[in-house]
Amino acid sequence: MSTDTRAGAASAQRPPRAPHTPDPGSGHDRAARRAAIGRRLRPLRPWLLLAPALTVLAVLLLWPLVRVVLLSFQDYGLREIRSGESHYTGLDNYRTLLGDSYLWTTVLPNTVLFAFACVSLTVILGTLVALLLQRLGPVWRVVCSTALMMAWAMPAVTGTYVWIWIFDPLNGVVSGGLDTLGLIEPRETNWFTDRWSFYAIATLNVVHHGFPFVAITVFAGLLTIPRELTEAAVVDGANAWQRFWQVTVPSIKPVFTVVTILSTIWDFKVFVQIYLMPGGSGSNRDVLNLGVWSYVRSFGRNDYGSGAAIAVLLTVLLLTITLVYVRTLFREKDEL
């Protein structure tokens, strides 16, 4: 037998060598385990980073919302506050609320129509001012932007009292001017007792306080539109109106979406501008909206369960309108 044959037979008789298994305590194995854990935790990494902020939001927003919902199912007044007991009545508060004609004839129309008017005027005026800022030179742009920010920074309480003074029946600027022209008799005219004039003043107040935010936000969006698009539209013969609807609006549609949704949320839950005006704290029932009505029922009549039900109704109304609006926008985007 040759040497090569004997060597081959000997190697065939030897048992196969076991594969090398790394030492569990080796650095290579520890690194592999850490990599595997990192891959498993990768989807959770964003949530881990957001956990502190979400915890704060849950404590400051979610828990009070849960408490309001729980109160809306209770007959809760001063007696329950003193005793600490909970008297659940199911859906009684909601049945009473939805069966009250005052909700459907006064409060809900006041809330919806007032919010619709404020949102429309705020977005329109803010957009016009943003277009004006786009055309101004650097110096006047800074001056106008500063004035806008000062108007936006004015507290709602201060702004409301300014508008009350302007429309004061006896000493206000409007009544004095119209009296000078012989159009009204100040002693016989009170702008705050009539439902329509009351909300006209409130609309001026809210729009004056809200349009600077829309103007600055829309102006920031206008700066992102490539100049080539506008120049191409001009070359094609498009006028200013056509350029606005065919170039500007499609280019910054997400900006309009954001300002519209935020304005809707803010204007549906307006409280200060209504409550501080004469008659708005409950003495004139014709001018209450959902926010003020909830406050009056809770703290004026100590009926916290009913007031919480009104607050929940307002929240559901806001969520419904916002979801419908966002869904419509996404549907339009998918169709495009």
At 93-149, the pLDDT tens digits run 999 999 999 999 999 999 999 999 999 999 999 999 999 998 888 898 889 888 888
Structural domains of the chain ordered from first start: 29-66 (no CATH), 102-335 (1.10.3720.10)
At 278-314, the pLDDT tens digits run 988 888 989 999 999 999 998 888 889 999 999 999 9
- Within 10 angstroms of residue 288's Cβ, the number of other Cβ atoms is 24
pLDDT confidence tier of residue 332, bands split at 50, 70 and 90: low
Nearest to 95 by CA among 321, 313, 304, 290: 313
At 198-253, the pLDDT tens digits run 999 999 999 999 999 999 999 999 988 888 888 888 888 888 888 888 888 888 88
pLDDT confidence tier of residue 2, bands split at 50, 70 and 90: very low
At 312-323, the pLDDT tens digits run 999 898 888 888
